[in-house]
Amino acid sequence: MANVFEVLDRDHQEVNRMMAELEDMPPAIGDDRERMRERKELVRRLIIEESKHEAVEEEYFWPAVRNLVPHGDELAEHAIKQEQRAKYTLNDLIDYEPGQPRYEDLLTGFIAEAREHIAYEEEQVWPELRLVISPERAMELGTKMEKAKRLAPTRPHPHTPPNPGLLKASGPFVGAADRIRDMVAARAGRH
């Protein structure tokens, strides 16, 4: 079990690691199918992790920020706008292949925006929440988020409103459908 800040920090570290690896891996050019496959797989994993992370934030973290932090609505609204832009970018990225100029532009843009969003959360939101959340509530929130992440959607859903109630109700079903699509896509990729 981990508190909310530990859960989010682990996610941020993993996403930052994948983004750094993508930046260190030059785009595949020409017939370098192996590099293209590796790059596509890493982006696929990034999309999955980012999608799960944002889903549980919208279900649990941002409602807590809104309820506990004096100007929490303002903080949450700014962050959710950033997250929505990221969902559209990741959703568009799925339609392209590594090495294509649009793919590389979308990926570069996503990485820059993701770093900005992570910094916003860690430097602006977390300090404010730490001032008002009890250790017990932080632990409870972290536990709920860890549990929800197991069933969370693995693909971006930019057209789904970031409504916590709707997400809690539909998230497990959407997550199950996403996992089926992921398995089918993985099988198709092997053939």
Q: Indicate whether 141 pLDDT > 60.
A: yes
Reading the block at residue 179, the tokens are 């996992």
Tell me which of 31-40, 73-82, 84-93, 100-109 is least confident. Answer: 31-40
What is the arithmetic mean of pLDDT over 48-59?
A: 93
Domains of the chain, earliest start first: 4-190 (1.20.120)
For residue 183, what pLDDT is reported?
53
What is the arithmetic mean of pLDDT over 151-155?
A: 81
pTM of the model: 0.82
Query: Mean pLDDT over all residues of the chain?
Result: 85
pLDDT band at 34 (very low <50, low <70, confident <90, very high): confident
Q: What whole-number distance in Å separates Cα of residue 69 and Cα of residue 75?
A: 9
Angstrom CA distances, 28 to 1, 20, 98, 185, stand at 40, 16, 6, 21
Helices and strands, number each (H, E), in the chain: 8, 0
Q: Indicate whether 72 pLDDT > 90.
A: yes
Is-contact 122 13, C-beta < 8 A?
no
Q: Which residues contact 115 (CB under 8 A, 6 or more apart)?
A: 16, 19
Closest listed residue to residue 75, CA positions, set 2, 67, 166: 67
